[in-house]
Chains A and B, each alone.
Chain A
Amino acid sequence: MKELMTGNEALAYGAYLSGVRVGASYPGTPGTQIMEKFASFPGVHAEWAPNEKVALDVGIGAAFAGTRALVSMKHVGLNVAADSLFYAVYTGLNAGLLIACADDPGMHSSQNEQDNRNYAKFARAPMLEPSDSEEAKQFAATALEMSETFDTPVIVRFVTRTSHSSSVVDVDPDAVPPPATEHKPYKREIGKFVMVPGNARRRHPVVEERIGKLREYAETTPLNRIEPGNDDWGIVASGAVYQYAREVFPEATFLRLGMVYPLPEKLIREFAGRVKKILVIEELDPFFEEQFRLLGIPVAGKDVFPIVGEFSPALIRQAAIKAGILPAAVSGFSAAPALDIPVRPPILCSGCGHRGMFTVLKEAGVVVMGDIGCYTLGAASPLEALHFCGCMGASIGVAHGMDKGGIPDRLVAVIGDSTFFHSGLHPLINTLYNQGKTTTIIADNGTTSMTGHQDHPGTGRTLQKQPTVKVDLERMVRGLGFNKVDVCDPNEMDDFRKILEDHLKSDEASVIIARRPCVLQSRERRTPPRIDPELCTNCGTCLEIGCPPLVQQEDCVSINEAMCTGCGLCVQVCPADAIRQEAK
Chain B
Amino acid sequence: MKKIDYLLAGVGGQGTILASRILASAGLELGYDVKTAEVHGMAQRGGSVESHVRWGEKVYSPLVEHGMADYLIGFEMVETARWLTYLNNNSVTFINRFRIPPLLVTLGKARYPSEKEIENLLQSRGGEVRWLNADDMAKDAGNPAMAGVVLLGALSNLVGGGQEIWLQVIKRLVPARFVEMNQKAFLAGRGAGPG
CB of B45 to closest CB in A, whole Å = 4
Chain A interface, >50% SS class: loop
**How many of A's residues come within 8 Å of B, CB to CB?**
58
Chain A residue at minimum C-beta to C-beta distance from B58: A246
Residues of B near A550 (CB, < 8 A) are 106
**How many of B's residues come within 8 Å of A, CB to CB?**
55
Does B65 interact with chain A (Cβ within 8 Å)? Answer: yes
Quick one: CB contact mask for A331-349 with B, threshold 8 Å, 1 for yes?
Answer: 1011111011111111111
How many angstroms from the CA of A548 to the CA of B46 in the assembled complex? 9
A-B contact count (CB 8 A): 170
Interface centre among B12, B21, B61, B111 (most CB of A within 10 A): B61
Quick one: CB contact mask for A410-444 with B, threshold 8 Å, 1 for yes?
Answer: 00000000000000000000000000000000000
Given A336-B84, A346-B12, verify A30-B41 contact (CB < 8 Å). yes
Asked if B43 and A108 sit within 8 Å, CB to CB, the answer is yes
Q: Please list 10 pairs of residues, one from A and one from B, whose beta carbons are closer than 8 Å in the complex, sorted by A's number.
A: A4-B36, A30-B40, A108-B40, A108-B42, A109-B40, A166-B62, A314-B63, A342-B78, A344-B78, A344-B103
Chain A, 91-117, CB within 8 A of any chain B CB = 108-109
Asked if A342 and B66 sit within 8 Å, CB to CB, the answer is no
Asked if B106 and A548 sit within 8 Å, CB to CB, the answer is yes
How many angstroms from the CA of A166 to the CA of B27 in the assembled complex? 12
Q: B-contacting residues of A (Cβ < 8 Å)?
A: 2, 4, 29-30, 32, 108-109, 132, 160-161, 164-168, 240, 243-244, 246-247, 312-314, 317, 331, 333-337, 339-349, 374, 376-377, 381-382, 450-452, 540, 543, 546, 548, 550-552, 562-563
How many angstroms from the CA of A569 to the CA of B194 in the assembled complex? 45
Q: Which of A314, A377, A552 contacts B108 (CB 8 A)?
A: A552
Q: A-contacting residues of B (Cβ < 8 Å)?
A: 11-12, 21, 24-25, 28, 33-48, 59-63, 65-67, 78-79, 81-82, 84-85, 88, 100-108, 110-113, 117, 121, 124-125, 144
In the A-B complex, the 8 residue pairs with the closest CB atoms = A109-B41, A29-B41, A346-B47, A333-B67, A165-B62, A342-B110, A346-B45, A109-B42
How many angstroms from the CA of A116 to the CA of B148 in the assembled complex? 37
Asked if B28 and A333 sit within 8 Å, CB to CB, the answer is no
A164-B39, A341-B82, A382-B103 given; 16 more Cβ-contact pairs under 8 Å: A29-B41, A132-B35, A161-B62, A165-B35, A166-B62, A334-B125, A337-B121, A340-B111, A342-B102, A343-B102, A344-B11, A347-B47, A348-B45, A543-B108, A548-B46, A552-B108
Asked if A452 and B40 sit within 8 Å, CB to CB, the answer is yes
Given A164-B38, A346-B47, verify A341-B62 contact (CB < 8 Å). no
